[in-house]
Copies of this chain bind each other. A is one copy, B any other.
Amino acid sequence: MVILIQCKDRVGLVADIAGVVAKLGINIVAMREHVDTVDNRFFVRIVVDGVQEALPVWQELKAILPEGAQIAVNPSTQKKVIVLVTKEYHCLGDILIRNHFKTLGAEVQCVIGNHETLQDVCKRFDVPFHYVSHEAKDKETFEKEVVAVIEKYKTDYLVLAKFMRILSPTFIEKFTHRIINIHHSFLPAFIGASPYKQAYERGVKLIGATSHFVTNDLDEGPIISQQIIPVNHSFTAPDMVKAGKEIETAVLARALQLVFEERVLIWKNKTIIFE
């Protein structure tokens, strides 16, 4: 069982929290605590032994923690996710394979595509695919249709696995801190479109990818994971796109693992990650 807490910091918090857990006779296997001393904010992740009931722990913690504390006590229930895609297969393929073999750490409930391209591969894995075209529609109409599909499910996270439409603030607010994106550059370098073309023109020696939560500002949400791979003068822009796909797939997989294992806390525009 994993316990995640964030709240205002004060002396004695760790003692009080650990005291609650000890009083219930539960053993702590791993614990990581971080204080943002600039913002006086306290973060902790606690892994406890064995199967436990969540509610009593939550109630006891609620009683001793400062007002406004965010407390999550999660027995190892599987997360549920919906994946949004456009045409590129590499991130979705990786997710479908892991999902099929039950190693994703979450269950893919369905895939939504604004093109039909990836319908076939979903079908091969018996994962429902919903085609919602954006063509000849304004953003509001398109997003309403997407939301209508999502609302058929009770989902934990939306994964944008190379979903190439910019979402409106209205959409994003509906799923605060629950949308995970993979961006095809080492943010904040090459914000926006055609990052590999930009990278090619600048003659960089490394390219990267960034997975982040989506907030109102494009490419500006809290970063979960980033990685890079070396490139050189022999790479054309399409070669960089190809190499980039490898790293995009790996970075999104890593970010999803961190989120699904409940290792990620969000504070303002940053993540605290207890790896």
Residues of chain A having any CB pair with chain B under 8 Å: 9-19, 21-22, 25-37, 49, 89-90, 93-94, 96-97, 100-101, 103, 121, 124-125, 186-190, 198, 202-206, 208, 222-228, 232-234, 242, 246, 250, 253, 269-273, 275
Contact = CB atoms under 8 A, between A and B. Distances in A.
Given A93-B97, A233-B271, A187 B208 contact: no
The A interface, classified by DSSP as helix, strand, loop or mixed, is: mixed
Contacts of A222: 203
Contact of A272 (B12, B19, B233): B233
Number of copies of this protein chain within its complex: 4
B208 A223 contact: no
A17 B90 CA distance: 40
Contacts of A21: 14-15
A26 B14 contact: no
A272 B30 CA distance: 13
A33 B206 CA distance: 21
